[in-house]
Amino acid sequence: MQYNSYQLAEIIGVNVSTIKRWTESGKLNCTKTVGGHRKFNLNDISNFLKKYKKNQSNLDLIKIVGKNNKLINSINSFDEIYLTKYCYKNLVKGKSDNFLALNNALILKNTPLQNIFDKILIPVLKKIGDNWEKGYLSISEEHIATEIIKKFLANLNFQNLSNNSRYNAFCFTLINDKHDISINMGEAVLNQNKKIKTFNLGPNLPVKDFIKLSKKVKIDIIFVSLIFIENKKIITKEINLLLKEFLNVNTKIFLCGNKINKINIKNNNFTKIDSFESFSKVINKHFR
């Protein structure tokens, strides 16, 4: 989502002339339309607030999420139970604007992405999946909800592209696993480290094909999500082939997903990710 100068001025609590002065001095990044109007994306605003230590507690959240005192109080206190319920309710009803506004508010309040993923979005996805399996949600409702989340993550990742990277990271799922939300989250966490350039190769990738790519480019980080197993024998072979190929190199391999423990893994040259918070800490420790 993008904000214009008037919207941003209201959110931060300054005059439009102040926004103009910040952009002209280079403090606050923006893009300009053909007509010369300034547009500010979430990443630019968030970076500005962090860099210049603007007080996030003074943000006018009403301008972002509307007049909803319970929601605003829950954002300020990071009430994950209420926020999870709010997200779920709006996602299954297809109310993408409400969902996006909430997440925008959390990000501008400097809530780490990994906390949003671990504490809100992953519980929401689990509830969506459980309720679909029980027949409480239709296929259409499930698809609407997950597509809204995917679009949010895609937009987030587009805004966080790095131009000064030293390390290459690759995210994908294994063959026949089409669940790509986890790798989109992994990409978002990686993109916060400006030393890393992330390539999201998408779902359903044969390991042999990835190994061919590794002969042509430097691979520093591999992030693999395993949510679905169609054929355990094939996936076991794929995982072990990947780990064997990168056994004696400096490449860091991260495996996440609830199916990892179902696989008989021969080598130990990987890190199992139990949360995106722990993933973020490991990444920032090793890739500076």
pLDDT at 56 (0 to 100): 64
SS3 content of the chain, % helix, strand, coil (to 5): 55, 15, 30
Structure letter (DSSP) for residue 26:
T
Report d(CA 145, CA 124) in Å as an integer: 10
- pLDDT reported for residue 33: 86
- Tens digit of each residue's pLDDT (9 = 90 or more) over 249-276: 999 999 999 889 889 999 999 999 999 9
| SS3 label, residue 161 | coil
d(CA 227, CA 258): 6
**What is the C-alpha to C-alpha distance for residues 97 and 20, in angstroms, rounded to an integer?**
27
pTM attached to this predicted model: 0.90
Backbone φ, ψ for residue 221 (5° rounding):
-135, 135
What pLDDT does 163 receive? 66
Quick check: 221 and 196 in contact, CB under 8 A?
yes
Q: Are 222 and 194 in contact (CB under 8 A)?
A: no
Residue-wise pLDDT tens digits, 173-229: 999 999 999 999 999 999 999 899 999 999 999 999 999 999 999 999 999 999 999
Q: Is 110 left (phi over 0), alpha (psi -120 to 50) or beta?
A: left
Burial level of 35, CB count in 10 A (0-12/13-18/19+)?
exposed
Note down pLDDT in tens along the chain; length 288 residues. Answer: 789 999 999 999 899 999 999 999 999 999 888 888 899 988 889 888 888 766 566 789 999 999 999 999 999 999 999 999 999 999 999 999 999 999 999 999 989 999 999 999 999 999 999 999 999 999 999 999 999 999 999 988 776 666 678 999 999 999 999 999 999 999 999 999 989 999 999 999 999 999 999 999 999 999 999 999 999 999 999 999 999 999 989 999 999 998 898 899 999 999 999 999 999 999 999 998
Phi, psi of 26 (to 5 degrees): 90, 0
| pLDDT at residue 50, rounded to an integer | 82
Domains of the chain: 1-56 (1.10.1660.10), 61-159 (1.10.1240.10), 163-286 (3.40.50.280)
Hunting for tokens 């893009």 — which residue is that? 31
Neighbouring C-alpha atoms within 13 Å toward the C-beta of 135: 0
Where is 199: in which H helix or E strand?
Answer: strand 196-205
